[in-house]
Amino acid sequence: MRSTKQFLAKMLPAPLKRAVKRVLRLPLRLWTYKKKFEGVVIGKEDIVSGLRSLGIKDGDTIFVHSSFSAFGFVKRGPEEVIEALLEAVGRDGNVCMPSFGPLPDDKTFDVRGTPCALGKIPETFRRMPGAKRSLSPTHSVACIGKDADFITKGHLKDETAFGKSSPYYKMMEMGGKVVCLGSPFTRSLTCNYLIEEEASDRFPVRVYEEELREFVVIDEKGKKFFVKKKYHDKSLDPIRVDNRPEIAGWLERLMAEKGRLRRAKIGEAAVRVYAIKGLVDTLRELLQEGKTIYAKE
């Protein structure tokens, strides 16, 4: 199914792809409006209260994966969700979101204009005044908060997107938490790549392509950088945890049993919160048993 989607994405012209997406999203939009008429309407206060119940507090650094449609009906749209996240962490905290998506054919990433393909909330977020966006052609992160400059700067320094100069490593070192707002657990595991970086040559799976890929990266001032980066081997996608719901479900239960993951609901959205370090600790322990996020069985 995934390979069919990838084939169609390459073959269909852009206008037709947009039309297909609108048709596919129609049932979800109808469901959202049904929730509105049923009185399932979510506001900022509901989201802040739900996050507080899951341990999010002033000064926290949170990395948010989201599905806007999962909430039901939000009064003022994605902006209200973002306002709630910023209020939950306060002036001394940081809200970060993945802001990457499929690269165009020319392999150019423009930090000013390349859209985020991960949904309404992160795309709205990365365009907001004060948002900083890291210079990574494959795994860019957007951030608003006290430490936004520190978190996002230097992402081009390392050969991979998950080195010690990356937002992912910095968020972990800062005690950062992943907040999964309605998004499936399988789609909240971006930070799992940190264990590959840590283990390096000891990691039992060759996860990157042998040849470096070339990219063009354009910064806020329009300056171009020609870079070569390691790129994850797409042939491993079918056996990776984010495409194996049964394994992801097992990992989620394991983290909950270890006290490293909390769950609740905000409106219609299932919400999960876990520390990035808690995920990496769990993966480190599994690696000692010879287990990784890449599973053939």
pLDDT at 237 over 60: yes
Task: Please report, rounded to a whole number, the percentage of residues in the chain having pLDDT higher than 90.
Answer: 69
Taking residues 2-16, what's their average pLDDT? Answer: 56
pLDDT digits (tens, 9 = 90+) for 15-32: 665 566 555 555 545 444
Measured at the CA of 21, the angle between CA 141 and CA 99, to 5 degrees, comes to: 5
Lowest model confidence (mean pLDDT) among 24-28, 43-47, 56-60, 213-217 = 24-28
In this prediction, residue 17 carries a pLDDT of: 57
pLDDT at 124 over 80: yes
Q: Is residue 296 part of a domain?
A: no
Q: Is residue 210 part of a domain?
A: yes
Q: Is residue 293 part of a domain?
A: no
Same domain, 189 and 268: yes
Same domain, 56 and 118: yes
pLDDT at 35 over 50: no
pLDDT at 105 over 70: no
Which one has a higher pLDDT value, 35 or 147?
A: 147
Taking residues 233-239, what's their average pLDDT? Answer: 90
In this prediction, residue 69 carries a pLDDT of: 84
What pTM was computed for the model? 0.86
In this prediction, residue 76 carries a pLDDT of: 84
Same domain, 35 and 47: no
DSSP state letters, the chain: -HHHHHHHHHHS-HHHHHHHHHHHHHHHHHHHHHHHHTT-EE-HHHHHHHHHHTT--TT-EEEEEE-GGGGSEETTTHHHHHHHHHHHH-TT-EEEEE---PPPTT-EEETTTPPP-S-HHHHHHHTSTT-EE---TTT-EEEEETTHHHHHTTTTSSSSTTSTTSHHHHHHHTT-EEEEESS-GGGS-GGGHHHHHHHGGGSSS--B-SSPEEEEEE-TT--EEEEEE--B-GGGGGGBGGG-HHHHHHHHHHHHHTT--EEEEETTEEEEEEEHHHHHHHHHHHHHTT--SB---
In this prediction, residue 107 carries a pLDDT of: 87
Residue 258, CA distances (Å) to 36, 252, 262, 274 in order: 38, 10, 10, 11
Count structural domains, the chain: 2
Same domain, 94 and 108: yes
Q: Is residue 206 part of a domain?
A: yes
pLDDT at 6 over 70: no
In this prediction, residue 32 carries a pLDDT of: 46
The domain containing residue 20 runs over which residues?
1-39
Same domain, 106 and 34: no
Which one has a higher pLDDT value, 240 or 16?
A: 240
In this prediction, residue 198 carries a pLDDT of: 95
Q: Is residue 294 part of a domain?
A: no
How far apart are the C-alpha atoms of 128 and 294, rounded to whole Å?
A: 36
Q: Is residue 297 part of a domain?
A: no
Same domain, 34 and 123: no
Same domain, 174 and 28: no
In this prediction, residue 37 carries a pLDDT of: 46
Task: Please answer whether residues 239 and 248 qualify as being in contact, where contact means their C-beta atoms are separated by less than 8 angstroms.
Answer: no
In this prediction, residue 2 carries a pLDDT of: 45
pLDDT at 66 over 90: yes
Same domain, 208 and 248: yes
Q: Is residue 87 part of a domain?
A: yes
Taking residues 95-116, what's their average pLDDT? Answer: 86
In this prediction, residue 15 carries a pLDDT of: 65
Same domain, 4 and 139: no
Same domain, 12 and 103: no
Same domain, 21 and 53: no
Same domain, 222 and 240: yes
Looking at the DSSP bridge assignments, the partners of residue 74 are 42
Q: Is residue 270 part of a domain?
A: yes
pLDDT at 78 over 50: yes
In this prediction, residue 186 carries a pLDDT of: 86
